[in-house]
Structure 1
Amino acid sequence: MRPVVEGMGLNWAGQQQKLSADPGRFNCMDIHTLGADGRQREMACIPLRRYPMWLATINPAKVLDPAVRQRVEQLEAERRRQRGPRPAPHERRQAPRSAHAARG
């Protein structure tokens, strides 16, 4: 994850904290890998299926590279388009109460 985060111009320390703060959310884990210099390194990684969820947490204003920022904004717009409009909290329907819950 670090090369991806730094490639986007983001602060690794902040993203690392986000990734490890809630283990169930991103399922971030450390793997051991061999660097180009022959030394073993630990690298944080997340499953590919969690990658879009992580991208959704990125604030485009914090991305330094204008081309990358534009791409993050495009991904955010596409996610909103797929999700559809969300009703305002006062417009959301209440789940019907069951007969048992209504008695209690």
Structure 2
Amino acid sequence: MGFDLGILIWAIGIVVVLMLMTRWVFKPSRPRTGRPQTGPNANLGLLTPVLSQAPRSQVLSAKNLLSTQGIRCSVSRLDRDSYDLLVFGADADRARELLAE
């Protein structure tokens, strides 16, 4: 029983084909855009910022307040020290009223 170079070449070829297939299958469908958009003209889809560029502690306490009132909200990290609090457009006015109190 000797070493068969043909089997080794086939095995390496199969592994390379499987690697290429997995890279193709698990490739993101959309390119990553980097940081989220901010500002009044940001395209956030159905979400509206009710608290912008605030520190993490302030955003989390506001998120807890809105959650206890039944308003669905999300936190978006802008950079190391600033966050946005986002709610759905239909809840934005009510959320701003609750945060103003």
Scaled by the length of structure 2, the TM-score of the pair is 0.30
Higher-RCO chain (CA-CA 8 Å, sequence separation at least 6): 2
> Which of the pair is proportionally richer in strand?
2
> Which of the pair is proportionally richer in helix?
1
